[in-house]
Amino acid sequence: MIDPVLNALITRQNPDGGWGATQDRSSNTEATSLALSALKSIGARSVDDRIRRGALWLTAHQNPDGGWRLNDVATAGSWTTALAIIALSAFPEHQKRVHDGARWLVQQEGSAPGILAKLILWARGKSNINELNNDLIGWSWVPNSFSWVEPTSYALTALKKVRPSLSDDNLNERIRQGEALIYDRMCKGGGWNYGNSKVLDYALWPYPDVTAVALIALQDRAAEAANQQSLNALRETAAEANSGLASSWAAICLGLYGQDTREWQSRIEKSFEKNGFLGETKTLALALPALAGMANPFRI
């Protein structure tokens, strides 16, 4: 099954060297980073030229300040910077770019409600509608908005990967607070959704993809009770979703935690046979290392 998935992924590479979200879309940093990580992880010489062209696209889309733009249209530094760092950290020749990106990432902070907003919420009786610690700072999807689980998790994974070789005064504190934020956002019973465990007294449910991404970011704290509880939530929600994306994330995550991934590999194969993952590059790129079970691009 690896070959059909690999073929589907490489045929989606655009002439400019990058990948779009699907075959008919322009290249973007998320799809290109994940595709590049996937191809690099399988270590096949036959894709060397694909990797070279993908890395060229990615390096050409780093902004002078170190951040990565999403694509040729949305050119401000974006949340996809963390994924570009993860992808290029497998290329020793790009270490400077990786460090520039990581320093940019350390400077990015999600916003907490200001004093005025807090007063208004308090006046409306909604000062704690989601029962979160809103003072914790992680990473947001776009500047000037709240911190959310998925961008915070990508940032943590990227920064933990480069931590041994990067010197930055704020790095460890940003990682510490990012971890605190992720644990704070955990759903009751384990697992994560986009970042609200509760709204207006109603408990919200976890999503398998976000749960896996968060657990990957916290893989160096595997023994924590919250991690173990969330691994169970991951298995349950991924089985319920039964999609290529959920199963791929589950296999990658559970593999990092040293667990058997055969059930998820089987689910990935069935999903691919059924609908080709709807042609989505992201799922193809995650399925490839998940099926290959080789060097995991998300290992810290």
- 3-state per-residue secondary structure call for 229-271: HHHHHHHHHHHHHCCHHHHHHHHHHHHHCCCCCHHHHHHHHHH
HSE at residue 33, side-chain half, CA atoms within 13 A, is 26
Per CB under 8 A, the list member of 19, 57, 68, 79 interacting with other proteins is 79
206-265: contacts with other proteins (CB under 8 A): 207-209, 241-246
As measured in angstroms, the least distance from the Cβ of 73 to other proteins is: 5
SS3 at position 181 = helix
What is d(CA 127, CA 121) in angstroms, rounded to the nearest whole number? Answer: 5
Tell me if 58 contacts other proteins by CB under 8 A. Answer: no
Q: Which of 1, 42, 44, 70 binds other proteins (CB under 8 A)?
A: 70
CB under 8 Å to 232, separation ≥6 — which residues?
190
Among 116, 167, 225, 258, binds other proteins (CB under 8 A): 116
Which of 216, 280, 287, 298 is in the footprint of other proteins by CB under 8 A? 280
Instruction: Spell out a b/e string for 258-290, using b for 16 or more CB atoms within 10 Å of the CB, else e.
Output: eeebeebbebbbebbeeeebeebbbbbbbbbbb
- Among 194, 224, 228, 295, the residue binding other proteins under the rule CB under 8 A is 194
User: Binding to other proteins by residue 141, rule CB under 8 A?
Assistant: yes
Q: Can you give the binding site for other proteins, defined by CB under 8 A? A: 20-22, 25-26, 28, 30, 70-71, 73-74, 78-79, 111, 116, 119-120, 122-125, 140-142, 144-146, 148, 150-151, 193-194, 199-200, 202, 205, 207-209, 241-246, 271, 275, 277-278, 280, 283
